[in-house]
């Protein structure tokens, strides 16, 4: 577990969540570090959010005022990146317009970084919402997935400009 240090340019919490203290008792000791760092924990969690932990520890590839980007821990393709609002909200439907702009901006930057690293032939951008939608981390995030020709068999092109 990374130590929780907030870097100078960390935007910090925008909306302090109520119930932080009662949450703290349930998620000790990690919660102590997070709350001490000023990072909000979702009041309903029984274990700390892995993305909030990562944000609090500063272990991210890039950040702007409302979002961060980091590589997926279990990439489905080389360069698979997650772009995440810094505020803990459950899904992309809970992200406000200002945050969406910042998320989209980091997606663009991450795309340039990954494309500079390797020959990327295509991309998928997606988000899973809810257990039934395949969401396993309930902190909103967008997947940026580089695709490589031949990584799946014979994709059918229906229309090409
Ligand atoms: P989803 O299934 O859409 O909720 O995606 C969650 C993603 O988060 C998966 O692709 C995981 O590999 C990734 N993941 C889980 N924990 C971490 C972590 N601590 N750091 C980076 N990526 C993670
Ligand atoms: Zn979170």
- What separation in Å is there between the alpha carbon of 72 and the centre of ligand 1? 6
d(CA 26, CA 157): 51
Question: Distance between CA 91 and CA 142 in Å, rounded?
Answer: 9
Looking at the CA of 87, which ligand is closest? 2
Q: Is the pLDDT of residue 16 over 70?
A: no
Pocket test for ligand 1, best of 54, 76, 126, 137 (most atoms within 8 A of CB): 137
By residue count, the chain amounts to: 161
| Distance (Å) of CA 91 to CA 13, 131, 139, 141 | 17, 11, 6, 7
How far does the centroid of ligand 2 lie from the alpha carbon of residue 71, in Å?
A: 16
- Range in 2-16, 71-85, 102-116 with the lowest mean pLDDT: 2-16
Distance of CA 80 from the midpoint of ligand 2 (Å):
19
Atom of ligand 1 nearest to the CA of 135: 4
Q: What is the pLDDT of residue 47?
A: 79
Instruction: Please choose, from the candidates 137, 134, 76, 146, the residue with its C-alpha nearest in 3D space to the C-alpha of residue 107.
Output: 146
Residue 37 makes CB contacts below 8 A (sequence gap 6+) with 4, 5, 6, 56
Taking only the tens place, the pLDDT of each residue in 86-137 is 999 999 999 999 999 999 999 999 999 999 999 999 999 999 999 999 999 9
Q: Report the C-alpha gap between 97 and 145 in whole angstroms.
A: 23
Which H or E run contains 44?
A: none
Q: Which atom from ligand 1 is nearest to the alpha carbon of 74?
A: 12
- Considering only CA atoms, which of 146, 147, 77 is closest in space to residue 110? 146
């Amino acid at each position: 577990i990374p130590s929780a240090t907030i870097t100078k340019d960390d935007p910090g919490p925008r909306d302090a969540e109520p119930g932080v203290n009662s949450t703290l008792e349930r998620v000790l000791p990690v919660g102590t570090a997070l709350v001490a760092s000023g990072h909000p924990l979702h009041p309903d969690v029984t274990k700390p959010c892995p993305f909030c932990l990562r944000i609090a520890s500063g272990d991210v590839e890039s950040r702007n005022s409302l979002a961060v980007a980091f590589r997926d821990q279990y990439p489905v393709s080389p360069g698979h990146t997650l772009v995440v609002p810094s505020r803990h909200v459950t899904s992309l439907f809970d992200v406000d317009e200002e945050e969406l702009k910042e998320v989209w901006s980091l997606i663009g930057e991450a795309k340039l970084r990954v494309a500079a690293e390797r020959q990327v032939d295509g991309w998928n951008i997606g988000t899973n919402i809810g257990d039934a939608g395949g969401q396993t981390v309930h902190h909103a995030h967008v997947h940026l997935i580089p695709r490589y020709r031949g990584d799946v068999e014979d994709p059918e092109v229906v229309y090409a400009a």
